Amino acid sequence: MIGKLSIIIPVFNEEKNIEEVLKNIFSLQLSFDIKKQVIIVDDRSTDESASRIENILRENNAGTHFIKQKVNGGKGSAIRAGLSVATGDFLIIQDADLELNPQDINKLIEVAISNKADVVYGSRFLIKQPYPVPLKTKIANRFLSLMTSLMTVRKITDMETCYKLIRSSLLKNIQLKENRFGFEPEITMKLLRNKDIIYREIPISYKARSANDGKKIELTDGVRALICLIKYRF
């Protein structure tokens, strides 16, 4: 069973979205009376993200950790900082944007419990989304997911998904190194090359945002992802 879920929220320059994201997470009622630990990591934002987080926490800070990075280290670095204080039986990452619906977290939890799964990924590509998904996003993710499937001999349709529900005990034996978006292929490969891990994947909703809306991933991150897949597989 899952007694507590740790939700790690890495933040970098998300002043437009962070308040709504936090309100959604704080109001989220987890299934099966699971307790919630919220961990916010500001990765040395240069906008008003940190101050807006502090404003929200004045109203609702129960069970919340707020970590301020001294230097900007990237998503992977922020997640490692969050992991250092995580106490949940499972954990999940919540990006500080509005691309995913936090209500879908309960769907992942239900699959983890019903299937006794150690890892559950929420795939954006198992269903037709109500909002258009950029073609380059589809192509990049399908290519990287195909490579992941071939290397792990597991069917994976969305390696880059943010919603990865992971049993915390698994991470105690994994040393994470990637600082930027290389976290996604690194954690995927280090988890799924272990054939004893029970892995599941379910559809989730997705509303893509553009660079103008604050999306930060770039073409070079896709190249790095492929390098990471090969590096951590072998």
Distance CA 23, CA 21 (A): 6
Residue 4 is classified by DSSP as E
pLDDT above 90 covers what percent of the chain? 81
Neighbours of 60 (CB within 10 A): 14
Give the domain 4-233 fold. Answer: Spore Coat Polysaccharide Biosynthesis Protein SpsA; Chain A (3.90.550)
Q: What is the pTM for the complete model shown?
A: 0.93
Mean pLDDT of 96-116: 97
Give the number of C-alpha atoms closer than 13 A to the C-alpha of residue 51, restricted to the C-beta side: 3
pLDDT, tens only, 140-162: 999 999 999 999 999 999 999 99
> 42 phi and psi, to 5 degrees?
-85, 120
Q: Which residues pair with 64 in a beta bridge?
A: 38
Domain boundaries, the chain: 4-233
pLDDT, tens only, 168-205: 999 888 999 999 889 999 999 999 999 999 999 999 99
Q: Please name the residue ranges forming H helices in 28-90.
A: 49-59, 75-83
